[in-house]
Structure 1
Amino acid sequence: MPNSIDVVVIGAGLSGLTAARLLRASGRSVLVLEARDRPGGRMYGFDVDGRSIQIGGRWIGPGQDRVKSLAEEFGIEAIEHDGFEDAGSVIGGAGEELRALARRIEALAESVPLEAPWTTPNARELDGQTLATWLSANAPADVATAMGTSLTSFLPEPQDLSFLHTLFYTKSNGGLVGILGLDGKAHDNGQFVGGAHRLTDALYHDLEAHVRLNTPVWKIVHDRDQVQVHTADGRVSAGYAIVAMPPVLAGRLQYDPPMPPDRDYLTQRMPIRGKIAVALLYAEPFWRDGSDTTLVADEDVLLWDEGGDHRPVVLAGLISIRRSRELAGLDAATRKETILGYAARHFGNQATQLSDYYEINWAAEPWSRGCNSFMTTGVWTAWGYSLRQPVGRIHWAGAETSPYFVGQMEGAVQSAETVVETLLTAG
């Protein structure tokens, strides 16, 4: 490893790789250190018989122009999935009451300053209750249940989630009606041709000489002049460090001197939750016969047709957080049988006659530990300011740190742009 560089980036996900590329384009020397044996972080996919299989982050939508422009630079096309026009109908049951509740939450979210949610009017009151508490006090039981179930496609379970964070997420991502497809269409229904992992693969190959895979970082020593990043293979000295990891994992690194107390308290209280993602491969799309249904959901599973005419065809799925925890304790064969049972519930016994099966339990991935980070009650108002605030020469990046499109690929790119601009301004 080089002894001294301008910036060391920890994490070769979308945000870390984008930051490294921008720094290189500005003439800075960069080294990216990645614990995994692959780039991409939570964007993960591969090819099977010429068919792209995605079991990581993939969706893009309106307003997410930075990530689309970045993909275009590598010749990666974004297309809309054409089978989700009726996405809002999968929630079921509550109809107009659910839309009215979503609009009410949107109206409350308008008061949240995305750059500083802790300054929201009545912030402590909003942050002091969970989403579940607010729903139970403000909606009929069936509507509250439907809303909570719907939101777990994007957020953790309502009883774990600060209501202020719910409002922040709502405004950051363009509104709850659109997020949930309650206006009769799915908003985040775009994908990159060949899979989102093509984008991080392209960034990696563009930077390959400046990326080290299989290189977990365990310690960062920092002072007013430099940082020293320690790995099993040695150490790297740099002018600055960008830590592009989920906050809870960033908090597990050793720092010398230690992080300020408020930053430490934040990372201890900003957990991440993970689901089991699956790809079910079939010789033929039997579920398309005489049906327009391409997206189904219940309290256990969300399943959708990946579309296209290429064989094999794919039903992709996400298992609920609660069921994922239960299934994680089963042996692989029993877990697969149970998940196929969920598919059969919606598509009949033919769903159990598949040609191949892939799964990943994101909660069990050691360098992710989940999919979506979030704020528990009281965190935004007590320590939220430290989420994006640099600590000396250590800066933070990632989809969680962006005020806009938080948790999305767009947010990861915006976060990278922001931190690079800050570093370049600092010199």
Structure 2
Amino acid sequence: MIENTRQPEGQRERQPKRQPKRQPEQADVVIIGAGFAGLTAARELRQAGRSVIVVEARDRIGGRTWLDTRLGRPLEIGGTWVHWTQPYVWAEMKRYGIGTVQSPVPETAFWWADGKSHQGSPEQLLNEIDASNRQLMEDSRLYFPEPFSPLAHLGASDIDATSLAKKIADLRIADYSKDILESFWALNFNGPIDDAAFTQALRWVALTNGDWKICFEACATYKLQGGTLALLQEIAAGSDVRLNTTVVAVEHDENGATIKAADGSVFQADHVVCTLPLGALPGVSFEPPLPDSSRKAVSDGQVSKGTKAWIKVKGTPQPFVALGSADWPLNFAQTEYEADGDTILVAFGPDASRLDTTDLVQVQAALELLVPGQEVLEVASHDWTADPLSGETWPMHRPGFLSEALAAFQASQGRLFFAGSGFANGWGGFIDGAIESGLEAARAIQDGSLA
């Protein structure tokens, strides 16, 4: 369980009124957040000769990636999957000699469409999605001919106000196909698609040369050998990381930056890199304030407000994949691990507020809709949406973010820079995007890019 290190107001009032004043710590760069973006930026800057301090509110590194021992084995509670179409994470894996582990290949599939359940082969389910998804994504390369430069072609701004739900509604397809397609994209956005940016979906598929099947393979097939922690520890080696240090304020001007933490710690630096997700930024005050477009994006938040759960079920069912209705508490599940005669599934749902994953009765009912006949034994999960240090799962943007806010977050704001998966040019929402963004921030500081 991740605990918020910020003190409740009542506890603050009970503290002694006079605290010894701490001397600010000095560094060339202070990085807020020890996820993949922050640790990558720290390594690059440190290797370039800069002094760097990484401050992290949690009691661990990794941010929204978290390898933890649950249900009797190491499980990825947050971000998990990687792919060779993701050049930044793939290069890091090669740098440190880390391979991949493939998820089990499903042998049967369950899905819900047109008001009834269906069962067949996984290939049949993919074929049921294929024609409508190809129609939906047919212009991905037209709008994003250079997927790692999404702002280079202004044509994308013409459709950035469009929601994914509207584009699907406008397709001339049967309700059966529409039901499957809506659930497929609710899974990818980990949230309802009514407020999901169509451009976000196009960007993902453009990154796999317009092939939605390869994009889907990148989302849920290959895991890091040794888990995400293995790669995190390699990247973090040698960096000065301060855990349990929650930043509450950032002030910067032409002379440098001051970073203040809830425990009274103060850091001063030439530059500061903030890698917090949109959902956590309301907990930090910025002076001068962020640009209007950035503040609006923070206020709107991300679409991704869903659930990821590891579910142990009794026995060893045939490996399966299941896709339910877009509005079910769980709309996806697949088998992942054998566990002493039982099986561990990974499952996702679009709205964390609709499923209490600590209640086995609720989880049993939700799974029964997807795959009848499975007996739930245990569940492991974390409510990333309710966690004030994240406020979201993986970053999935709303309409308008690409054309109105991304450039502002990517630009230096005096001494302040932003990095993170949500601000990446390429694989936004993935480990790859976080690494890319961390590299970009480090390069901008090294190049002396100041507004």
Pair 1:142 & 2:176 matched: yes
Pick the aligned partner of 1:297 from 316, 320, 323: 323
Pick the aligned partner of 1:34 from 40, 56, 81: 56
Q: Which residue of 2 aligns with 1:191?
A: 223
- Per-residue CA shift, 1:265-310, capped at 9, x if unaligned? 33333425232222223575x103xxxx332221233112224x66
SS of 2:355 mapped into structure 1:
helix
- Per-residue CA shift, 1:16-39, capped at 9, x if unaligned? 111111211111111111111111
SS of 2:447 mapped into structure 1:
helix
Q: Which residue of 1 aligns with 2:6?
A: none
Q: Counterpart amino acid of 1:225?
A: N
Pair 1:226 & 2:284 matched: no
Distance 1:380 1:70, change over 3 A: closer
Question: Is residue 291–residue 408 contact of structure 2 (8 Å, CA) maintained in 1?
Answer: no
Q: How far apart in 1 are the matches of 2:346 and 2:139?
A: 27
Pair 1:326 & 2:354 matched: yes
Q: How far apart in 2 are the matches of 1:368 and 1:72?
A: 29
Q: Which residue of 1 aligns with 2:205?
A: 170
What's the TM-score once normalised by structure 1's chain length?
Answer: 0.85
Distance 1:85 1:65, change over 3 A: farther
Distance 1:387 1:176, change over 3 A: farther
SS of 1:259 mapped into structure 2:
coil
Q: Which residue of 2 aligns with 1:260?
A: 291
Q: How far apart in 1 are the matches of 2:313 and 2:177?
A: 36
Q: Which residue of 1 aligns with 2:7?
A: none
SS of 2:317 mapped into structure 1:
helix
Pick the aligned partner of 2:418 from 369, 393, 396: 396
Pick the aligned partner of 1:129 from 162, 172, 194: 162
Q: Counterpart amino acid of 1:43?
A: T
Pair 1:200 & 2:232 matched: yes
Q: Which moved more, 1:239-248 or 1:7-16?
A: 239-248
SS of 1:139 mapped into structure 2:
coil
Q: How far apart in 2 are the matches of 1:270 and 1:78?
A: 32
Which structure 1 segments of 5+ residues have no match? none
Q: Which residue of 2 aligns with 1:217?
A: 247
Distance 1:143 1:346, change over 3 A: closer
Q: Counterpart amino acid of 1:221?
A: E
Q: How far apart in 1 are the matches of 2:437 and 2:107?
A: 30
Q: Counterpart amino acid of 1:148?
A: E
Q: How many equivalent pairs are there?
A: 408
Pair 1:151 & 2:185 matched: yes
Question: Is residue 32–residue 275 contact of structure 2 (8 Å, CA) maintained in 1?
Answer: yes
Distance 1:346 1:166, change over 3 A: closer
Pick the aligned partner of 2:361 from 321, 325, 337: 337
TM-fit CA distance, 1:194: 2.9
Pick the aligned partner of 1:235 from 242, 253, 266: 266
TM-fit CA distance, 1:240: 0.4
SS of 1:142 mapped into structure 2:
helix
State the superposition RMSD in angstroms.
Answer: 3.0
Q: Which moved more, 1:40-49 or 1:147-156?
A: 40-49
Pair 1:120 & 2:154 matched: yes
Q: How far apart in 2 are the matches of 1:294 and 1:81?
A: 11
Question: Is residue 197–residue 398 contact of structure 2 (8 Å, CA) maintained in 1?
Answer: yes
Q: Which residue of 1 aligns with 2:443?
A: 421
Q: How far apart in 1 are the matches of 2:140 and 2:212?
A: 8
TM-fit CA distance, 1:408: 0.7
TM-fit CA distance, 1:263: 2.8
Q: How far apart in 1 are the matches of 2:390 and 2:238?
A: 22
Q: Which moved more, 1:84-93 or 1:231-240?
A: 84-93
SS of 1:265 mapped into structure 2:
helix
Q: How far apart in 2 are the matches of 1:174 and 1:243?
A: 31
Q: How far apart in 2 are the matches of 1:296 and 1:211?
A: 41
Distance 1:226 1:313, change over 3 A: farther
Distance 1:252 1:179, change over 3 A: farther
Which structure 2 segments of 5+ residues have no match? 1-22, 110-121
Q: Counterpart amino acid of 1:169?
A: W
- Per-residue CA shift, 1:73-100, capped at 9, x if unaligned? 4453323334158886485784553243
Q: How far apart in 1 are the matches of 2:124 and 2:59?
A: 37
TM-fit CA distance, 1:139: 3.1
Q: How far apart in 2 are the matches of 1:169 and 1:186?
A: 10
Distance 1:71 1:114, change over 3 A: closer
Q: Counterpart amino acid of 2:195?
A: D
Q: Counterpart amino acid of 1:149?
A: S
SS of 1:197 mapped into structure 2:
helix
TM-fit CA distance, 1:130: 1.2
Q: Counterpart amino acid of 2:346?
A: G
SS of 1:373 mapped into structure 2:
coil
Q: How far apart in 2 are the matches of 1:152 and 1:277?
A: 13
SS of 1:9 mapped into structure 2:
strand
Q: How far apart in 1 are the matches of 2:141 and 2:402?
A: 20
Q: How far apart in 1 are the matches of 2:141 and 2:335?
A: 33
